[in-house]
Amino acid sequence: MVSWPGSRRIQATLQKEMVREFLAEFMSTYVMMVFGLGAVAHMVLGNDIYGSYLGVNLGFGFGVTMGVHMAGNISGAHMNAAVTFASCALGRMPWKKFPVYVLGQFLGSFVASATIYGLFYMAILHFSGGQLTVTGRTATAGIFATYLPDYMTLWWGFLNEMLLTGMLQLCLFAITDKKNNPALQGTQALVIGILIVIIGVSLGMNTGYAINPSRDLPPRLFTFIAGWGKEVFRDNWWWVPVVAPLVGAYLGGIIYLVFIVIPRNPQRLENSMVGEDNRITVLSKANPGMPSPLTPVSATSATPAGLALTQPIPPSSGSMPIEHF
């Protein structure tokens, strides 16, 4: 087989673990965001004919499911910087992978925003009269990022985003906890998608439920560059969907461990300790009742929650199963 010069070097680079995980996060986040933002575009631009709020929830929910199938066996398909942060903070993934995962997610989200802008460019101009605005009846910036309604304050919005992301992480732990009542083998990706839909239809009204820095900040940056201008950073809201989900995901994980995992194994609490690398050491074989770091899931058992509890000790790669958006 004839190959052009350098092809083997490129192939070897693409087969490196960190590169594969970066590309997996890029592709899975891109898929999720294209379906999600496309659903929002239909709601905003479709004059109540082609889209709805329920459609937005379904778009993001099943976009997550598709993203899980895209990359669940490679990177775990986090698709969510808050989930990646919680994974690192709780010792389930090395911190050196945090920037790799987040960069892949941010780039995937940014490119997805550009894709939706290109696909709906004519519809955006027709709807807005050629003016790219953030507020008003013909505002279109909300297709890409979240904005607070008039009745909400900044800190109430922060609490909303923190609570919703905490609920997300809490439920992700439960769905993948084999010592509890997990989703059936092979259904985890679908169940996680349904979880996103449930959060949206029941709790999403106040802030648009970003619950994911990778879902909100890159599209906002795109709109800033594409012509909406600095108004996309109005009211200083832009940092809340970045910081609040990080706090919420971490607290949600801690709450599940404290209220569900530890009480069923109180005698083994002392076996959990911080190792020399500052990671929490909780190995499932040594401590069967405690959660362990995860291994990537197979294509038939992908779980966007990525914290499948009580699984075997992970490989040296340290990658986790899906714990995404």
> Per-residue DSSP letters for 97-155?
GHHHHHHHHHHHHHHHHHHHHHHTHHHHHHHHTT---SSSTT--GGGTS----TT--HH
Instruction: Give residue 218's pLDDT.
Output: 98
Instruction: Give residue 266's pLDDT.
Output: 65
Instruction: Give residue 268's pLDDT.
Output: 53
- Report helix, strand or coil for 251: helix
Q: Which residue segments constitute the domains of the chain, with CATH numbers given?
A: 10-263 (1.20.1080.10)
Query: Mean pLDDT of successive 10-residue segments in the chain (325 residues)?
Result: 68 82 96 98 92 96 95 90 94 93 97 98 96 95 96 96 97 88 88 97 96 98 97 95 98 94 68 43 37 37 36 38 42
Whether the model pTM is above 0.85: no
- Report helix, strand or coil for 304: coil
Instruction: Give residue 293's pLDDT.
Output: 36
Cα–Cα distance between 186 and 322 in angstroms, integer?
13
Per the structure block, which two tokens stand in for 173? Answer: 């732990």
Cα–Cα distance between 248 and 145 in angstroms, integer?
19
Instruction: Give residue 134's pLDDT.
Output: 96
Asked whether 166 and 255 are in contact (CB, 8 A), the reply is yes
Instruction: Give residue 271's pLDDT.
Output: 52
**Positive or negative CA dihedral for 242, 111, 37, 182?**
negative
- The residues pairing with 323 across neighbouring beta strands, listed in sequence order, are 305
DSSP designation for 184 = P
Per the structure block, which two tokens stand in for 269? Answer: 């609490």
Residue labelled with tokens 């389930």: 92
Instruction: Give residue 9's pLDDT.
Output: 79
Cβ-Cβ contacts under 8 Å for 136 (sequence gap 6 or more): none
